[in-house]
Chain A
Amino acid sequence: MSNHYYNATDLGKFGNITDFQKEAGEKFFAWYGEVFKDSALSAREKSLIALAVAHAVQCPYCIDAYSSDAYEKGYSEEQMMEAVHVAAAIRGGASLVHGVQMMNKVKEIAM
């Protein structure tokens, strides 16, 4: 067992998850492939969404994969960083909006 949690070369082994559960794994990859196809949204737009989401879920593998993919698909550095800001803004906003819950609670118990 390796003594660290993330290893860049593991990204290339992603396909091997079907080794332990073939059917579910294959269904995931088929679905994944379908999701990223050109459709109502282009594969290119989906790549930028994936880049933002990768930052929101903080998955280093996805950040690696979609930084390359979005850049290769012709997004500028500026566009990519703006996508990251969108993810960050939603994350920040999501925390902050719970502040209302906090305020509600405080008001409930405060004199």
Chain B
Amino acid sequence: MPESFANPFPVSRRTLLTTAGAVSLTAALAACGDSGDTGDTSPAAAPVSQADIDKAMSTPTELTFWTWVPDIDQEVALFQKKYPAIKVNVVNAGQGVQHYTKLRTALQAGTGAPDVVQIEFQAIPTFTITDSLLDLRPYGASALKDMFVESTWAQVSGSNGEVWAIPQDTGPMGMLYRQDIFDRYGIEVPKTWDEFAAAARKLHTAAPDIYLTNLASNEAAAWHGLLWQAGAKPYATVNKSDISINVNDATSKKLAAYWGGLAKEGVIGVEPDFTDPWFSALNRGKYATWLTAAWGPSFLAGAAKSTAGKWRAAPLPQWDASTTSSGNWGGSTSAVTKTTKNPIAAAQFAQFLNTDPESSKLFTTLQFFFPATKALLADPGFASQAPAFYGGQQVNTVFAGIGTTISPSFQWPPFLDRAVTDWTETVGKSLAGKADTVVALDEWQTRLTTYAKSQGFTVKGQ
């Protein structure tokens, strides 16, 4: 299940219990307070004037915001302090599949949907295909482009330049490794995937209880990140109904042969991640590396306390030693739903939350998010943190560097949930069962193509 596609911070989450009924009621009440452009369903291309914005931001308004981020009330409070007329109701509607299912249901019902919603990068096309998100360009979002890392901004941009959401946090992929295990078995930090494979064999031969890494057989998100790094373009949306699916192209096959081969040899683990056995494995040193994203360092520091001081961070090994590239795994945004009765206030809130210096900085110090803005990535207070868990290494700087090596041309499919499930049942299953992963890729391709056609898409690229 794509559960771990969700923001991977299953720490104590503040649960704000608000019934769906109460939400729709407040939305209806909020509608009464709105005096501006109600009934405008198609996104106006013409920008909203500053006078309109000023008026909207001083009119008493209630916004509903669905998010799973713990303690986000503190960032929200900053917004409310600046705009006392706007009241933001923060609702925790769950995480991952649960969250999106509720959102989809509310949107379909036409009532009860939030004004602003937390949404992961990879889920954006799933909601733009159903015309559920508001294009934020008329509300001044285009001007924010240069504040963000290029590949991050590309993730929230539509094919016609629409701005579907404001980035909140990101996940450039890198490698966390156990310095002590590397030292004990004489392993150099692998720079290329060939070196990585050699190290995997060497380590497992020397210590049969230890594996160089675990490629989780349930983690389609990690696979997509690795595909991204390798330069694959598994999905491309030409226009709304024409898509191309290429999850078994030459690049993907190279990846499948590599990882499937290591799994078959039994020199890497293929355990499902974010499960009890997996946490236990990280704590007990069963795995010498974790190929993860920029949110991984602080997550691991909380999840594997007993291994403090032994970990270090490095970029992913490369396919081509002469260039460096990486992929993205995780991170999320704030989007505005098309059903909102207060588009101006909602759009301003989404922008403020993620670009206001104080608010966006709070995400890095309170929630330990890996930031999406260039300013924060360069901020000495963030970049020069040297956590003891990583032996005083400046891990944020490592990942900030990786962030600039991510290609901006990767696209997500408009039916991500299905792609993830099918991946788990084909490619993931072949890894876990030590079967032929390259054959599994073809099966994945067939399943996705069949599904896309049944949903009315014209599938190209095959």
- Indicate, yes or no, whether A interacts with B: no
On B, residues with C-beta under 8 Å from A are none
On A, residues with C-beta under 8 Å from B are none
